[in-house]
């Protein structure tokens, strides 16, 4: 257990559906991250939040919409996804962004878009 939980662990959705991924951290951290890991590819950073403010968006398509209501919770809202969006979505947290701190990852949500 890393102190970072993600729900659901598995999700199958059609291209016209809307769904949300949830991440919660119990570590008192102030920075939270979304990563995407497609099959046989390295992890790609998608979004970063630091003290609830989005500080990074790595050119992610608008069909992915993040939300960070407080430092403990992070959501990724999904709509009109494409089959190529099928991947493992990982959430992570760290103490904050202005110094290097270790990141703690959740177990991920395995998303399949049909």
Partner 1 sequence: DAKTTQPTSMDCAEGRAANLPCNHSTISGNEYVYWYRQIHSQGPQYIIHGLKNNETNEMASLIITEDRKSSTLILPHATLRDTAVYYCIVPRTTSGTYKYIFGTGTRLKVLA
Q: Which residues bind partner 1 (CB under 8 A)?
A: 2, 4, 35, 42-45, 48, 50, 55-56, 88, 90, 92, 97-100, 102-108, 110
Give whichever of 17 and 37 is closer to partner 1, judged by the CB atom.
Answer: 37
For 12, 33, 34, 51, 78, the CA distances from 86, given in Å and listed in that order, are 9, 18, 15, 29, 12
- Tallying the residues shown for the chain, one arrives at 114
Give the shortest CB-39-to-partner 1 separation in angstroms.
10
Beta strands 109-113 and 10-13: pairing type?
parallel
Give whichever of 78 and 90 is closer to partner 1, judged by the CB atom.
Answer: 90
State the residue for tokens 């992890």: 43
Give the shortest CB-23-to-partner 1 separation in angstroms.
11
* Cα–Cα distance for residue pair 33/56, rounded to 1 Å: 9
Give whichever of 18 and 58 is closer to partner 1, judged by the CB atom.
Answer: 58
- Three-state secondary-structure class, residue 30: coil
Give the shortest CB-100-to-partner 1 separation in angstroms.
5
Give the shortest CB-113-to-partner 1 separation in angstroms.
17
């Amino acid at each position: 257990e890393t102190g970072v939980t993600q729900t659901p662990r598995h999700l199958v959705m059609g291209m016209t559906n809307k769904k949300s991924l949830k991440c919660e951290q119990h570590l008192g951290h102030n920075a939270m991250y979304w990563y995407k890991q497609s099959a046989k590819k390295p992890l790609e950073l998608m979004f970063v939040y630091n003290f609830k403010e989005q500080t990074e968006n790595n050119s992610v398509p608008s069909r992915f919409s993040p939300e960070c209501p407080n430092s403990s919770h992070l959501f990724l809202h999904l709509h009109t996804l494409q089959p190529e969006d099928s991947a493992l979505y990982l959430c992570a947290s760290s103490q904050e962004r202005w110094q290097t701190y270790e990141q703690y990852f959740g177990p991920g949500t395995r998303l399949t878009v049909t």
